Homo-oligomer: A and B are copies of this chain.
Amino acid sequence: MEKLILDGHLVSKEIREDLQKRVSVLKEKGITPSLATILVGDNPSSETYVKMKGNACEKIGMNSIRIHLPEETTTEQLLTTIKQLNEDTTVHGILLQHPVPAHIDERKAFETIAIEKDVDGVTSAGYGRTALGFGKYPSCTPAAIMEIIHHYELPVAGKHAVVVGRSPILGKPVSALLLNEDATVTTCHSRTTNLEAMLQQADIVVAAVGKPNFIKGDWLKEGAVVLDAGYNKGNIGDIDYDSCYKKASAITPVPGGVGPVTITMLLKQTVISAEETALKNQIA
């Protein structure tokens, strides 16, 4: 059986080359696509993620506005910052790095992001549009998973997809995107009693559970397509790679699978937002 390693760097490279051109075109029109990232507090992993995202922007000619607020920031102060960015016409996308310190109402902060700048796909309104089939900016990891599927032309319609995880930015939206492309979708989670039996039926497996090496090859059907959105400490996915590799027809590695494409989706969605701004300026 042919065995595909789904190469996130390869998928990313092609898209980023395209984006670089689109950024140049926008700059000629006087618009530099700009992503504002907000980091609250001093979580070292979060600092690393935000830095990676900012650098990725700059690498393709985009503008990165990096806001770092102190640990003791209140919800109200954070909302004020977000509202200022909503109003700022030079900002095309806003990313609030998750998680924020526990004393902050994260959901309220997410919901304050203007939908046309919600390029990270965290608002409930954005989720609703995505799930009903007309969202512009799905959450980036689900968008990345679909991008990989499309790049490798893996069939989705009529397939049984089993998603393990139901978070608002991962399990739920990836279930919705797969359903909208005509997969039969089962969403599993911590309260699922028959996970192995479910996985044994899956043509497509998406792991989004946040438990290192959780899903074993024994649980999979021969020939399954396996997409690992897990990213645990020490660069370890949710998929037990070695045992799953043997069963899968296609599999994403960790690192180098879904991860790099996720950041690319953030860039892409910010560029699209900037293009919409350019279009509006043209009409106005």
CA A72 to CA B3, docked complex, whole Å: 57
Q: How many copies of the shown chain assemble into the complex? A: 2
A49 interface hit (Cβ, 8 Å): no
Contacts of A179 in B (CB 8 A): 166, 172, 187, 189
Contacts of A160 in B (CB 8 A): 194
Contacts of A197 in B (CB 8 A): 201
- Given known pairs A157-B191, A158-B192, the reply for A128 and B124 (CB within 8 Å) is yes
What does DSSP make chain A's interface, helix, strand, loop or mixed?
mixed
CA A12 to CA B127, docked complex, whole Å: 32
Closest B residue to A135 using CB positions: B124
Contacts of A157 in B (CB 8 A): 191
CA A233 to CA B175, docked complex, whole Å: 32
Contact with B along A99-110 (1 / 0, CB 8 A): 000000001000
A193 interface hit (Cβ, 8 Å): yes
A25 interface hit (Cβ, 8 Å): no
- Are B123 and A128 closer than 8 Å at their CB atoms? yes
Cβ of A275 to closest chain B Cβ, rounded Å = 22
- Given known pairs A124-B128, A128-B126, A128-B131, the reply for A186 and B189 (CB within 8 Å) is no
Cβ of A205 to closest chain B Cβ, rounded Å = 14
A184 interface hit (Cβ, 8 Å): yes
- Are A185 and B186 closer than 8 Å at their CB atoms? yes
Contact of A182 among B127, B191, B198 (CB under 8 A): B191
Contact of A193 among B127, B134, B176, B184 (CB under 8 A): B184
Identify which of residues 149-208 in chain A touch chain B, using a CB-to-CB cut-off of 8 Å.
157-158, 160, 166, 168, 172, 175-176, 179, 182, 184-189, 191-194, 197-198, 201
Contacts of A201 in B (CB 8 A): 197
Identify which of residues 125-150 in chain A touch chain B, using a CB-to-CB cut-off of 8 Å.
125-129, 131-132, 134
CA A172 to CA B160, docked complex, whole Å: 17
Q: 28 interchain pairs (CB within 8 A)?
A: A124-B125, A124-B134, A125-B125, A125-B128, A127-B131, A128-B128, A128-B129, A128-B131, A131-B131, A131-B172, A132-B172, A158-B191, A160-B194, A172-B176, A175-B187, A179-B189, A182-B189, A182-B191, A184-B186, A184-B189, A184-B191, A184-B192, A184-B193, A184-B194, A184-B198, A185-B187, A186-B186, A197-B201
